[in-house]
Amino acid sequence: MTGRYLDQFAIGEMSESPGRTVTETDIVAYSWVSGDTNPMHTDAVFAGASPLGQRIAHGTLIMSIATGLSARLGQLDGTAIAALGVDQWKFIKPVFIGDTVRLKSTVVEARPSSNPDRGVLTRRMDVLNQRAEIVQTGLMTTLVARRASEE
C-alpha cells in the first residue's frame, strides 16, 4: 500500500485501526526488552494483591502498540520521513492481559515545513479498549513527504 502525502490529509479527519489483543507474551517480552520488570507487570501473585487485582501492561508497551496500530492504517507507508515527537501523552486507564485495544487517529495539523518536499503532520492518538474507553491519549507528530509541485 502506498502512503499519503501531507496535502492529502484534512484537519479533523479520523481513522480507526483494527483491534489488537494484548497478551501475556507481549508483557513478558516487553519487560525483558525494556528492562522494566516491575512486579505489577511480571508477578501475578503480587499484582493480584494490588488494588488493580491483576497484572497490567506497561504504559509504554501500549504506546508502542499504538504506533503499530497506526502503521496498520497504511497512511504513511513510504511517505513518513521521521517521527518528530510525542506530546501531551496521558496514561488514563490500565490495560490488562486479554484486553483488546484499537487506535482512533484524528488529524489536528498538516502544515508545510520550510523544505518544500515535506511537512509536519500532527495527529491526536486515542487508544481505546474493548469497552470503547480511552486508555491512553496524546499527540504524535511526523515529518511527511509532500507531493512534487506540478509546475
pLDDT tens, per residue, the chain with 151 residues: 489 999 999 999 999 999 999 999 999 999 999 999 999 999 999 999 999 999 999 999 999 999 999 999 999 999 999 999 999 999 999 999 999 999 999 999 999 999 999 999 999 999 999 999 999 999 999 999 998 764 4
The CATH code of the domain at 6-145 is 3.10.129.10
The per-residue pLDDT for 1 is 43
Distance between CA atoms of 42 and 45, rounded to whole angstroms?
A: 9
Say if residues 15 and 58 touch (Cβ distance below 8 Å): no
Nearest to 8 by CA among 127, 121, 129, 113: 121
Enumerate residues 6+ apart whose C-beta is below 8 A from 127.
62, 63, 65, 66, 69, 101, 102, 103, 134, 135, 136, 137
